[in-house]
Amino acid sequence: MEHLLNKRVLDIEISGIRKFSNMVSGVENMISFTIGQPDFPTPTHVKNAGIAAIENDFTIYTHNAGYIELRKAASDFVKQKYNLQYDAEKEVIVTVGASEAIDVSLRTILTEGSEVILPGPIYPGYEPIIRIAGGIPVHVDTRDSHFKLTAEKIAPYLTDKTRCIILPYPSNPTGVSLTEKELKDIARLLKGRNIFVIADEIYSELVYENKHYSIANDLREQTIVINGLSKSHSMTGWRIGFLFAPENIAKHIIKVHQYNVSCVSSISQMAAIEALTKGYNDAEPMREEYIKRRDYVCERLTKMGLEYVKPDGAFYFFVKIPHELELSSFDFAVELAYKNKIAVVPGSAFSIYGEGFFRLSYACSMEKLEEGLNRMEKYLVNKS
């Protein structure tokens, strides 16, 4: 019966991140720098709010868009943090993580043959959804622009079929952000065109030297902002995402969301209210720790002679594999894993423009970072 399935589904593959992580997960004594999973526990007061929700019988369906208290908290949060203005009743949707927000957004705005411009390398979660929705992904090579999809990079790829630009910053896999000026330049390029922007800002609370800036400040009517609590509050398993969009767009996205999931877990929503109100600044101690880890990894990679663009957000390094090794990114990752018991993600998981690189996640303890990088250094010395 397999031949009867949707060909678009048959043609897509499991994420290269998960595929490689699963492949090495059973190896004894492996140090993994693969999955983008914060190693901090969910804050205790947020967990307690979830427990209280169960005990107080908040275990029923909610409004399709989510509890209004949560939508108001999310609206207030992005207003105070990023100067974004969204009507909680009509322009905010609570989703099952940022992943569902991406899915329902693309399924709402794309039609057959629509082109979607996105940076390469990029997180592999966008392209399959674009293809399932009948769209065509158009990757732009950002390797010579410090992994930034700038207005100058976008302009040559604009066509009559361009329906959407995806701006995921800070970036997975590179940890790179766009500056306010760079985002304003993109807004000027796109303003008034029949083109949407999906601004995936899930790492917005993990921006280091500069304050996070959203393109929605300059291109609100064309922008869908996606965010959530997975990274900011270490709530990956709670599956809380947020979608912010002008009313004339949100009122159609909510239809896709409604028939997709009905609503998000009521228990998770109650915990999320706690996270966005009493836990308004819960990301700060985590961010400080990530900065220490980033700086340590910078020092170690530099001493190893490895090339990278210093990340200014998220918790990833995208590192160039030494040319003299003459290994594909997949073969490099396999060899590193089985010879020295350290797992990184091959760059090929992040589009063709990721080939020749590997992604290292530093969302783990300093002890694991130190030991893992010791093993990496030993591997490189033995190969030289």
Q: 241 and 154, same structural domain?
A: yes
pLDDT in tens, 21-37: 777 777 789 999 998 89
- Domain containing 33 equals 2-42+283-383
Q: Which of 244, 277, 310 is the last residue of a domain?
A: 277
CATH number where 92 lies: 3.40.640.10
Mean per-residue pLDDT for 77-94? 98
Contact criterion met (CB below 8 Å) for 238 and 42: yes
- pLDDT above 80 (res 102): yes
pLDDT in tens, 274-294: 999 999 999 999 999 999 999
What lies within 8 Å, CB to CB, of 338 at 6+ separation is 24, 27
Torsion over CA: 327, 333, 339, 342 (sign): positive
Mean confidence (pLDDT) of the chain: 96
Q: Does the pLDDT value for residue 17 go beyond 90?
A: no
Domain final position from 240, 260, 277 = 277
pLDDT at 19 over 80: no
Same domain assignment for residues 148 and 242: yes
The number of angstroms, rounded, from the C-alpha of 229 to the middle of its chain's C-alpha atoms is 12
Q: How far from each other are the two terminal CA atoms of the chain, in whole angstroms? A: 51
Residue 370: Cβ within 10 Å count: 14
Is residue 203 domain-shared with residue 295, that is, in the same domain? no
Do residue 253 and residue 366 come from a single domain?
no
Mean pLDDT on 254-260: 98
Q: Which residues contact 375 (CB under 8 A, 6 or more apart)?
A: 31, 340, 341, 342
Same domain, 73 and 209: yes
- Do 253 and 316 belong together in one domain? no
**Residue 325's domain is classified under what CATH number?**
3.90.1150.10
